[in-house]
Amino acid sequence: MKTCSKQFGVGMIEILVALLVITIGLVGATGMNAVGLKNSVTSMHRSNAMFLANSIAEKIRSTGPNSIYVNLSTPSNQSCNGTSVSCTTDQLVTFYKSEWLCQLGAGGSVCKDNLMVDGILSDATGKITLLADQTYQVEITFRDTIAFNSDGSRDADGALVTLTSVINPN
């Protein structure tokens, strides 16, 4: 007795199943890459905000308490760059605060033309408040451009993130 088994197309089905498994794996890897990129950008924004908070904290500590840190809200033309420039403490504080505001992304011709400083964070705001006993509160607010709503959908406007730091310069 002769048996004949015909298995036409079985090899093709195996190839299609293998392609399906590979495709699902690639889609998963792409999704993981996107999540990693999102977290990387968010981490970079937070690191830059921390850097700027620490930068102004060190400048406050180096110059001592000064009300100019609190009162100056827009960058000034005051420049204390260079070895031949002699600045008073108040002028130095004005320069430090202006430079910091420019690094936050205040922009404008004062930052680029006079101070030659460009923004590290885009569209961030910074505020320095004098608390009791010459203690300063530094607040940096920026928009996290890659943010998601509670339902998992992407928030087109991003999320506002505020970093607050308290400094005692004494």
Q: Could you tell me the residue ranges of all domains in the chain?
A: 12-167
Residues 41-45, mean pLDDT to the nearest whole number: 83
**DSSP string spanning the chain?**
-------TTHHHHHHHHHHHHHHHHHHHHHHHHHHHHHHHHHHHHHHHHHHHHHHHHHHHHHH---THHHH--S--S----SSS----HHHHHHHHHHHHHHHTT--HHIIIIIS----SSSS-EEEEEE-GGG-EEEEEEEEESSEE-TTS-EETT-EEEEEEEEE---
Q: Name the more confident of 55 and 105.
A: 55
Does position 113 have pLDDT exceeding 80, yes or no? no
Q: Name the more confident of 130 and 149.
A: 130
pLDDT for the residue numbered 7: 66
Residues 65-80, mean pLDDT to the nearest whole number: 76
Residues 109-114, mean pLDDT to the nearest whole number: 65
pLDDT for the residue numbered 27: 95
pLDDT for the residue numbered 15: 92
